[in-house]
Structure 1
Amino acid sequence: MDAFLVSTAIVALAEIGDKTQLLAFILAAKFRRPWPIVAGILIATLLNHAFAAALGTWLTSLMAPQTLRWVLALSFIAMAVWTLIPDKLDEDDAKLPRFGVFGATLIAFFFAEMGDKTQIATLALAAQYQALVVVVAGTTLGMMIANVPAVLLGDRIATRMPVKLVHAIAASIFLGLGIATFSGAGAAFGL
């Protein structure tokens, strides 16, 4: 249950103000059809995060437990720092292919999420917890918690969101995970 709750909380907080959330705002404003956008975000996130979690789980088989512990701890601390850096949506991320609302959302969201902090967090969480399905379910729920309101409420919430505070909370959680991992909190998992 910890893997699910931590994955959900971290990604929901880290996604606030992230480039993929900005993309969700753009898609909502451009298409004004929220449910195909939400469905596209859900499927893109499931695919993207399943790939990241599988990679994270696989990487644990390549490293000695002590090495993995250090890599994960440093990764979580790096994520804390990265979370404090504001995201900007690149012009290339905002260009949408012509595959309908669902297809455009699916493709744009999947590629915008590649190498994004929430994808990297999913990889690290899967390696930490060794619970691929639980981590993917949690990170996907976190993405939906952050992006569904962005799609449905758009500008009404964008200007009222305390983005810096939310990022500080997410960074604190990542830092806490890094420190806990350094201190051997993953020992139960052989880390």
Structure 2
Amino acid sequence: DLQERLSAFMTQEIYPNERIFEEQLESSADRWTLPPIMEALKVKARAANLWNLFLPKAHHAQGLTNLEYAPLCEIMGRSPIAPEVFNCSAPDTGNMEVLLRYGTERHQDQWLAPLLAGEIRSGFGMTEPAVASSDATNIEGSIKREGNEYVINARKWWTSGAGDPRCKILIFMGKTDPTADRHQQQSMVLVPMNTPGITLLRSMS
């Protein structure tokens, strides 16, 4: 039973290592330095076949429905370090589902595969400082097509995942058609973090 195996892993591997994680984090150069214990636990989780538990059944032969995944989230949620151990932490899970559902073969090869393998992290850029961004219709960042390129202009904050040096790809939400119906003005584009013009001002203090 998946819940039993996950609970056993939490008891045997996660809870005993929470203090080690904190100690390694506190002694690191900065808050974004990954404690070595995290990678060690991820290796064990993969070996135990407790990896990418979020994958939906509609797109993965061994995937789960939301109802089946929910109790696993509750179990993982008992520890602040657990979701990443199982490659089930935000914003990666949602971003991977977007790439799985809508990404081209090239997108999936370049970004989804290393995300599924836990080799990179991702970010999600939606929230903006001047508007109530939980309502996506308020977003003002623009995405404009110019020839074979898209030009993006926006200021985002609370950009989940962007401060992590392992973050290599950002899913960015902005307006592509301000003249369309209110709920059809927005689009999302993939923006590599090394794209010229991206400036990461600071992480949360």
Which structure is higher in strand share? 2
TM-score in terms of structure 1 length: 0.30
Which structure is higher in helix share? 1
Higher Rg? 2
